[in-house]
Structure 1
Amino acid sequence: MSYQGPPRTEGQQRMMSMLPPQFANLTPAQLEQLKNQPHFQSMMRNYLQRQQQVQRQQVPPPHQAQQAQQIPQQVLGGARQAGQIPPQNFNMGQNTALGQPVGPAGMGGPSFSNINARNTLHQRRQASQGAPGQVTMSALPMQYSIVAPGYKIPSEVLKKVSFPQLESLHKWSEKLKEEGKEVPYDLKLYEHLITKDAEYLKRFAVQRESSKEEIETLLRDIKSYNEIKQLRMNSIALSAKNQLNNSIWGEGYQGYGNGMTNSSTKLVYPQQNRKYPSSLEVAYTDRQVNELVARKLAQNPRQSLVPIRLEFESERDKFKLRDTFLWDMDEPIVRLESFIQQLLEDYRFIPQTHYSAILASAKEQITDFRRVPDEMVGELRVPIRIDITINNTQLIDQFEWDILNYNDNDPEDFARTMCEEMELPGEFGTCISHSIREQAQLFHRALLFVGYSFDGSPINEDEIRGHQLPSLKIDSNGEDFYSILRNPNAVADYSPALLKLTQLEIERLDKEIEREARRKRRHNLTEESGTGRGSSRRGALTTARGGPSLPDLSDMPKTFRTPAPSSILPGAVDLGVPDIYTYNEVYGMKTQIRNPVPSSEPRVKYSHNGGRFIVTIKVP
């Protein structure tokens, strides 16, 4: 048996007649539950507005009006017999026979693939033995639209309907909380959905603006590429006709030391291009290079870096070059010949004819290099003097260095740290490490000449012992301790100084270095002619007594690199436009109308005397 509920009053029947078809089967108790829900109120308000609009636009025919008056009492909400289902409009067109459960098609549970769920459409609903439960908005048949099928609401009608904007996305739930009522689940779901919609619209607006900018950028790029394509096609067509035209690649760089490329296209073959000589080709890939370097460092982590100094003067060598670099004696990839060739490419003002002289000087210094023992004991501190000039910057400094301890003292790490602290460019880092290794190599050669064993024993040679600094270990009352305190009067000598030189100061320093080089050259020639070999007076005296020829440790060389060829760096050499960018300017004047033949006599004459001014024009 089914539950019928109490009989409906006349007011309830009138209210039921105003409801949409999908709410016709609801009981008065269920309507009372739905009456206070915002979603139900909004739905009823929209339904009544649409019904009024339909009544104003469409007048029902007479036979429909008569048929509407003959609606049975059961449709208006009259008493029903037990087990009888009224033939309401809600059941029309839904394949629902008399005595079958009432409900719209498709209200069964959702079906999912790969899930053995029972189809509730083919199940017969059991008769309820008690009162119906509470009705929620989620249980209502919402798949049917309140508007009649096929009917489209005019746009002018929608414009007249006022939709007040919510003050907050959680307005209704906050209102219910203020009244002390529980917020229904349907309202929470509704507010959650509109919150998600608001977030989506916000993100969509931002994405639409960004997409608009991207589309505008792409349109500009397409326009630019079309213009470039047209220019190149015109240039190719003119080149085929042997007519003068600009390069198909456009004007290129203009100024800033890069030269002009607005000329006819030229084909430069590899053997004609000095930038990529054949000697620089390396027969290894990047992966093979990394593997070779890693294998070399694994076998011998300590590198044998040779400090090489290139000094060539115009008077003696017919060209001028000063440069310093470090060369690994066990270099497995780049050959020394390739490096010297690249050096000449960097200094574009040095002719290729001096390649052999530079290569011979580098090989001679590599041959004279003396390796030190891998294991050295003791302490031998010597002063290292730094005097480096690169472009218009001069660095002067002095510090102590232990030449017997290469495990803890790394010149490259020291130079890198010093450049970071003083914010110096990378060129100073290579110069500082070169100066440290060069001066340490001079002391090592001197110690090897006198037969020193590098075991921390005292040095007997006065010339070398005079440059040795006292030990930091002090014996006081039978206890050894180290002292690194320096005399305050010597702080200025052991502090770095960074100077910015003017052009006159750079020229004066260059002349002083040339004068010092000539003096050393004359001095060495005099000593070699008198003693056969030697590089200083004390060394010559030692050689005359039968001892070895020691290097001159009193005068350490200064580093003054030849300025790099650049039109941007301060203090560099500006060579102007490179040869590869040379071009010929051709000026052409095109006119469509031939110029008139110049007249022998003027066509305009001026005459003025007294208070008159007459202009006479002769027309051809």
Structure 2
Amino acid sequence: MAAPPSTSTPTAAGATASSSASTSASAANDHDGTPRSAAAKALPVRDKDSFNKLQVERYVTRDWHYSVAMKDAQERFEKDMQQTRDKIDDYNLIKTQRLYFPPSKLYGEGYRGYGNGYTDIDPRMRAPFPAQVIYPSQKPRPGKRQSHPLRWKKRELKKQAEQHEELVPIRIDVDWEKIKLRDTFTWNLHDRVIPGELFAQHLVEDLGIPLDAQHKPVLDQVTLQMRDQLNDFYPLVFSEEDALDPELPYSAYKNDEMRILIKLNVTIGGVTLVDQFEWDINNPLNSPEEFAASMTRDMSLSGEFTTAIAHCIREQCQVFTRSLYSVGHPFDGRPVEDPDLIAAFLPSPLPSVFRPQQQAKEYAPYLYELSDADLERNEVIFSREQRRQKRSINRRGGPQLPDLKERQRTIRTLLVSSVLPGAAPNMEESTLYKRVAGAPPTTRKRPGARDGEVSDSDDSEDSGPDSPGVSQLGGTARTRGLRGAASAAQQRITNLGRSETPEASIVHHHETRRNLGRSLRDTRDETEEPTQLIVTLKVGKDKLRRLLQNPRARFTPSGSQTPSTPAHTRIPSAAAAAATSMPPPSTPASNGQALPAQLGTPLPQGQIGRQPAPPPVAGQPPPPAPPPPEWLKNCLQQLKQTYTFDNFEGMMKYSAINPDTEMPISVPAGSQPPEGARWMFLPRIRCLDCPGKLYTPGPEMTAGNFEVHLRNKQHRQKVDAREGRDTAAGTT
């Protein structure tokens, strides 16, 4: 293979030789330095003009690069916008041609159902088997629950495990319309995993209350009560100190034992647990949860009782702890100085490890099961006893301490479940909703008794033979107390051989018949709509004599009967001696004449002399009012003779009446009245000196209520300002 021809030229060779010679010559001149210094002086020196020129060239070059980058970015932006427009056009084309190309023609018919849905069904359609993809986060929760599920991370659990556990007793008691929710539990004060609002949502849903706008007040009250009790918690301080003298026992120089009496009264369903025992609140080794688990295991009770017992112990310990904080106790083993707290704590140290034989049965647990009616009656009596205890507290001076004698009764609303032990089988037995009148009875009652009513037979059974007779209560206070003590001692001697465990029929035998008779009003549901309205009026002797002498005055111009003559109306002297539980028949007056029989339904206060009116017509003014009744004109004429300077007149007000309660309904302007409302003209009194107000006549067919307004100080000032002088002197 031949070598490539040389491309070098003589000129290039000469240049190379001359460059080599110059290099060697410069190297040779480096030794003496003379020729090199001359060459250095010949180099150009940079001045200010050359530097500015260099900077301008750099600026221009940078602007050129930036303009090129901006042009490239603009081209990319236009390209992306064109691609987006093309996609929009494609999707619009698919949308217009969707009816002609269903999914079955594009992807096939699939498996035709079998849990996958049909291919041609639109996911947005309400079809039996919609063809749509449901992700796990979109699946409805079992039981149609709306609250968010509980989720936590391992990192959060690790941090929570390092926190100190401080259990706070929480008591929930919500009474809203027909719902009565009651529950007790303990909550960790240092819980950082589960939010309180989320727990409240789960609690409300577990009990069967939906999370909608209608039941939002229930959720708000549960959350508020939890927050308030957590903020009002006082932890107990435990101080650990070394012994001052190892030779002496700890009790020789310090006594930090704080024993209290724990009283249990837990009702879950129809089973009630009653017990009392001693507990040391200053011992950190005492665990209410372990004690409750051991107690329920020994008595074979459900888990509901375990948590309820632990809550009761912590709640009663918290009452004493809050009292210690109130008096400024240092929690260092010093004795308590407050006399009320000293009386509330049990004596320490113990004089003997054995309890007296007379008190042995008082510290033993017992269970009893009652019916629904007995539970409601006992609950009313228990709440009345709590109110009496609160009224009896009278602490003079010093900090206000909680009631150390009060022990709240624990009643829980049951869950509805067929799996959990101790749960309610249906919503009626869960006691979540109040029992209203007319509901089917769950227990056997006497004929004619209403729900929640305490009958006379129940009173007699609760009173029993232990109640002393009325004839035994005579004499002075001293002899009456002696006879009462003797009767009680005789009864104790008689029952020495019997068990002291209370039975269902005598649990509250200390309540008298009068107290149980009044429980009828307490146990009646607030939401119950009465089927009738009974009005009891007291008639003066002079007015009664006038009514008996003038029979025509008993009727109003509209033909309705006045409330002064119904069969249940009583004279004040006779009403004092009559029973208060039910209205007796008409009582004869002192002059020997009897009241006439009832001829119609009595009217409520302020509706005597009312007249029916046509319903309003949209877009038209209300119908003209008739003149007021004659008795109202006569009463106002008599008042005019007494109050000569006052200006007032009678009128008939156009009002809507509730057909069930016979009471007026307020209908705001521009709103529709409720369905079924009746319209009436009601007699009213208008004071011209006090505009904007209407006054109801009464009592009965008089204007005594309006006369109270005429004596009012502000009204008299307005009359004096109008007349320009003191009008009280002219009032006869």
TM-score range, shorter chain: 0.3 to 0.5
The structure whose RCO (Cα within 8 Å, separation 6+) is larger is 1
| Structure with the greater alpha carbon radius of gyration | 1
Report the TM-score when normalising by structure 1: 0.42
TM-score, normalised with respect to structure 2: 0.36
